[in-house]
């Protein structure tokens, strides 16, 4: 029964306590603990609390509930901030014992990693010279002892030409410089699974020039599992982008594919729910997305991923955008939607058809800027060169990115139509029933919890920040900006009358 998803297993009681829409800014020790209030929980902390005393504590909205408290008056069943802190202190103690059995300070290796991460952050912050990263260190850090890099690379083969391999190795070094990258790489090593990574052609991928730098527009990669072997395919266009941009993105993409999708696919396969996880479960992508974004943020990279900001603002808006981005996302579903998937898929189909209309309108709107720019050049005698950056923006949109988006949407229409046809068939209906059974397993419930805890951790990492434009290529001084052009158009007597 799927309704059980949203309350804890075995708990017959409901705790009807509506959170207020606004999280308290500060919590007193006796206030009910609120997951939304800074500083939020770290990854693993909520998990820990929910597993203490065989599931005594349950997560309910932003609150944590003590299932042993019968008294529903005065909200006594809501854990207070002081109670949560006491639990977390026990957790922290256990963690530090596990990590450093003897010494209390940071070990030499951890310090080295920390220093390396600081260098990387400075490179990204200074719009830096990639050479600052120094030679790529691939040998053991401690002679004679295998380090995490070697262990990880003994299970992950990099396939490609020498320059491709060098780029992938560099991305691996960056990935393993981050706390989350290291933690998940250790988990991967423990599974004993094997993976390979190679670069490949990605459909509808574009390399676009923006103010003299080359960026990738398109999917960064994909992954595929067959018999405990993970295959990661990275977009070969990465090597055509500027080196800093490549460094900036490739580590996060490998994290997304290998330690987001791949690692979780191994677990899903062990739990017997791989078909549901891979083919149908919407938060498979959310989880991988979070892993990649966290790695970017931990690297100190620019927070220029619109999907990330979209997700943090509204998971629903994020999924709706993905559904018109690539075919795969258009047919994955939430635990609620899998209960009755066909109406959802039909709705998605009309959503993507509307997106196709919007793309046409968008192209026309971009095109409408050309005569306005020409007006300032021809009538007001302004220099064409001052509009170079804006004209490049228009060209990129109408000739590259929007047509690529249109191609993807056409592929989505076919993909969703095929999924609807299959769902309407007899064999399709029984397939959906099997998937519904897999969705009801405890595994996917734990995944939902993990996504929530990673979301909290990421919110914490990026608190106080907002979308950062890709800083690598600001327009040159003297170039007219969109803001300025807008003002010029509004102030212009000829254009205003049109
Ligand atoms: Zn993905």
The H or E element that residue 3 is part of is: none
Identify any residues that bridge with 222 across adjacent strands, giving them in sequence order: 233
165 CA → ligand 1 middle, Å: 22
Residue whose C-alpha is closest to residue 414's, from 343, 358, 353, 347: 353
What is the spatial distance between Cα 378 and Cα 390, in angstroms, rounded to a whole number?
17
HSE-CB for 214 with a 13 A CA cutoff: 12
What is the spatial distance between Cα 300 and Cα 464, in angstroms, rounded to a whole number?
14
331 CA → ligand 1 middle, Å: 14
Cα dihedral 131, 133, 134, 135 sign: negative
User: Over the stretch 450-465, which tens digit does the pLDDT of each residue have?
Assistant: 999 999 999 999 999 8
User: Over the stretch 151-210, which tens digit does the pLDDT of each residue have?
Assistant: 999 999 999 999 999 899 889 988 998 899 999 999 999 999 999 999 999 988 989 888
320 CA → ligand 1 middle, Å: 15
256 CA → ligand 1 middle, Å: 6
User: Over the stretch 231-275, which tens digit does the pLDDT of each residue have?
Assistant: 999 999 999 998 777 877 899 999 999 999 999 999 999 999 999
Mean pLDDT estimate for the chain: 83
Say what the pLDDT of residue 227 is.
77
Whether the per-residue pLDDT at 279 is higher than 80: the answer is yes
432 CA → ligand 1 middle, Å: 23
406 CA → ligand 1 middle, Å: 20
362 CA → ligand 1 middle, Å: 27
291 CA → ligand 1 middle, Å: 10
Each domain of the chain, given as residue ranges in start order, spans: 22-99, 108-461
pLDDT band for position 291 (cuts 50, 70, 90): very high
323 CA → ligand 1 middle, Å: 13
Query: Quick one: what percent of the chain has pLDDT higher than 70?
Result: 81
- Of residues 265 and 72, the one with the higher pLDDT is 265
Q: Which residue has the tokens 């990693």?
A: 113
Whether the per-residue pLDDT at 13 is higher than 50: the answer is no
Whether the per-residue pLDDT at 127 is higher than 60: the answer is no
332 CA → ligand 1 middle, Å: 12
Whether the per-residue pLDDT at 46 is higher than 90: the answer is no
Q: Which residues contact 34 (CB under 8 A, 6 or more apart)?
A: 19, 23, 24, 27, 62, 63
292 CA → ligand 1 middle, Å: 9
- Of residues 355 and 87, the one with the higher pLDDT is 355
401 CA → ligand 1 middle, Å: 20
41 CA → ligand 1 middle, Å: 25
CB-based contact 133:246 (threshold 8 Å): no
B/e letters for 437-449, b = 16+ CB within 10 Å, e = fewer, are ebbbeebbbebbe
Residue whose C-alpha is closest to residue 363's, from 400, 408, 418, 329: 400
DSSP letter at 385 equals G
Rg (CA), the chain: 25
261 CA → ligand 1 middle, Å: 7
257 CA → ligand 1 middle, Å: 6
- Of residues 116 and 184, the one with the higher pLDDT is 184
Q: If you average pLDDT over residues 58-71, what whole number do you get?
A: 78
Whether the per-residue pLDDT at 119 is higher than 70: the answer is no
What is the spatial distance between Cα 100 and Cα 327, in angstroms, rounded to a whole number?
46
Distances (CA, A) of 22 to 25, 36, 229, 276, 346: 9, 9, 45, 35, 35
321 CA → ligand 1 middle, Å: 14
pLDDT band for position 84 (cuts 50, 70, 90): confident
225 CA → ligand 1 middle, Å: 13
262 CA → ligand 1 middle, Å: 10
Residue whose C-alpha is closest to residue 330's, from 317, 343, 344, 316: 344
Say what the pLDDT of residue 78 is.
85
Identify any residues that bridge with 234 across adjacent strands, giving them in sequence order: 199, 221
pTM: 0.72
Other CB atoms within 10 A of residue 232 CB: 25
The H or E element that residue 224 is part of is: strand 221-226
What is the spatial distance between Cα 454 and Cα 46, in angstroms, rounded to a whole number?
10
435 CA → ligand 1 middle, Å: 20
């Amino acid at each position: 029964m799927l309704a059980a998803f949203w309350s804890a297993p075995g708990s017959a009681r409901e705790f009807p306590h509506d959170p207020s829409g606004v999280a308290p800014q500060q919590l007193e020790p006796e206030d009910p603990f609120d997951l939304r209030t800074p500083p939020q929980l770290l990854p693993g902390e909520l998990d820990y609390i929910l597993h203490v005393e065989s599931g005594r504590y349950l997560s309910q909205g932003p609150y944590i509930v003590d299932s042993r408290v019968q008294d529903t008056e005065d909200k006594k069943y809501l854990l207070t901030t002081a109670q949560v802190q006491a639990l977390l202190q026990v957790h922290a103690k256990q963690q530090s014992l596990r990590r450093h059995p003897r010494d209390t300070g940071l070990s030499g290796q951890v310090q080295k990693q920390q220093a390396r991460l600081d260098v990387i952050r400075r490179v990204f912050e200074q719009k830096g010279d990639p050479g600052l990263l120094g030679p790529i260190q691939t040998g053991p850090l401690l002679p004679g002892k295998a380090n995490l890099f070697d262990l990880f690379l003994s299970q992950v083969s990099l396939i490609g030409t020498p320059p491709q391999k060098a780029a992938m190795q560099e991305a691996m070094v960056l990935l393993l410089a981050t706390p989350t990258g290291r933690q998940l790489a250790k988990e991967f090593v423990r599974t004993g699974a094997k993976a390979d990574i190679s670069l490949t052609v990605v459909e509808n991928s574009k390399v676009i020039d923006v103010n003299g730098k080359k960026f990738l527009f398109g999917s960064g990669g994909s992954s595929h599992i067959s018999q405990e072997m993970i295959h990661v395919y990275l977009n070969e266009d990465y090597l055509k982008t500027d080196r800093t941009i490549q460094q900036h993105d490739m580590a996060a993409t490998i994290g997304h594919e290998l330690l987001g999708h791949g690692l979780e696919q191994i677990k899903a396969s062990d739990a017997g729910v791989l078909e549901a996880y891979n083919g149908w479960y919407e938060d498979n992508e959310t989880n991988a997305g979070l892993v990649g974004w966290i790695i970017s943020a931990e690297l100190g990279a620019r927070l220029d991923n619109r999907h990330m900001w979209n997700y943090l603002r509204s998971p629903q808006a994020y999924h709706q955008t993905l559904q018109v981005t690539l075919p795969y996302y258009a047919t994955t579903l939430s635990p609620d939607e899998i209960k009755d998937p066909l109406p959802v898929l039909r709705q998605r189909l009309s959503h993507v058809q509307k997106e196709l209309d919007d793309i046409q309108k968008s192209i026309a709107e971009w095109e409408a800027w050309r005569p306005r720019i020409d007006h300032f050049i021809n009538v007001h005698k302004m220099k064409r060169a001052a509009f170079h950056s804006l004209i490049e923006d228009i060209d990129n949109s109408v000739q590259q990115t929007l047509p690529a988006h249109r191609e993807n949407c056409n592929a989505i229409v076919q993909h969703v139509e095929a999924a609807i046809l299959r769902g309407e068939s007899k064999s399709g209906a029984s397939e959906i029933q099997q998937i519904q059974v897999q969705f009801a397993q405890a595994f996917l419930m734990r995944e939902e919890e993990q996504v929530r805890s990673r979301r909290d951790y990421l919110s914490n990492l990026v608190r106080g920040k907002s979308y950062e434009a890709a800083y690598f290529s600001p327009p040159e001084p003297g170039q007219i900006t969109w803001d300025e052009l807008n003002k010029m158009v509004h102030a212009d007597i000829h254009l205003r009358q049109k």
